[in-house]
Amino acid sequence: MLRVLGIDCGGSTTRAVLVEEGKPVWTGLGGPSNLSSSPNELTRKSITAAIEGCPDAAAVCGAFAGLITDNQKKAAEELLQPFFPQAPITAVTDFEAALVACGDDIDVCVLAGTGSLICSFGTNGALHRSGGRGYLLGDEGSAFQYGRDALLHFLDGPPDDISAQLVEGVTSAFGSAKKSEVIMAVYAAEDKAKRIAGLAEPFAEDALRGTLYALKSLRIHTSKLAHVVSQHLRQYHSKLKSARIGCQGGLWSSDVFRDIFAERLGFWCKVDDILVDFDLPAPVYGAAEIARRLL
């Protein structure tokens, strides 16, 4: 049987999966490969690492965070082609792959990892999106936003209120627990978005401990993300009475973010009923499905 390769190129991690008859037969992992925020050479290295040792694929789809323009799409396909010279190749946005992975039962996909974005297919098959815009101009409710608040708490908070887990996370991400050195490392890092987003993990632990900064941040950012979902529903699915929301991305691995986001959706979204699914096939499988459609 023919094997197809999906590659999920994100702001923190690049994941690859080779699928045969709907089942994974090989997987790979690399670093960040956001087309808009990761340096070109870093993107190339991350993809190379993710697909190293991959058997031949009959078709390939790369799903890229930060894919905005047609020129970027062409460049991404040209980047992938030499690795699989005989295979048809396409590059799509990471959110399209995430939405495809959700399946037909989901109305709207909420993608939240290093960044965030809301997307859905319209009745005519058109792909609609809301939010996003990167960590400087948007990405509401993303791991970056929580990680940034955690980092600011580390820099500005009372020493006796800064958890050992947060200190450990900052030290691991930036090579020091000295505040001046951490600030320098943040601005010097090529992958600063990934490193800051990584602090969402100690942030979640702080939230579980009931730390005030984390609880405040959690309510603010989940509300902002839920509000973007409500705007998306009003603009693209105004006739829906019951909304099925699929949540994709690494942020949702923690119940800390799941529970309050589901509650905030109920507050912001003016529909009769909301079903939220956090346990869906990963976006990389959506990329593999898009690759299968090339055959």
pLDDT band for position 152 (50/70/90)? very high
b/e for 14-33, b at 16 or more Cβ within 10 A?
bbbbbbbeeeeebebebbbb
Sign of the Cα pseudo-torsion (43, 47, 49, 50, in order): positive
Residue 38 sits at φ, ψ, to 5 deg, of: -90, 135
Say which CATH topology domain 104-279 has: Nucleotidyltransferase; domain 5 (3.30.420)
In 3D space, the residue among 141, 147, 157, 277 whose CA is nearest the CA of residue 203 turns out to be: 147
pLDDT band for position 28 (50/70/90)? very high
Segment 195-210 mean pLDDT? 97
Segment 142-152 mean pLDDT? 98
For the chain, percent of residues with pLDDT exceeding 90? 88
pLDDT digits (tens, 9 = 90+) for 54-92: 999 999 999 998 899 999 999 999 999 999 999 999 999
Domains of the chain, residue spans:
3-99+283-292, 104-279
Residue type, 112: A
Residues 3-99+283-292: name the CATH superfamily: ATPase, nucleotide binding domain (3.30.420.40)
Domains 3-99+283-292 and 104-279 share a fold: yes
pLDDT digits (tens, 9 = 90+) for 92-111: 999 999 999 999 999 999 99
Q: Residue 10 above 90 pLDDT?
A: no
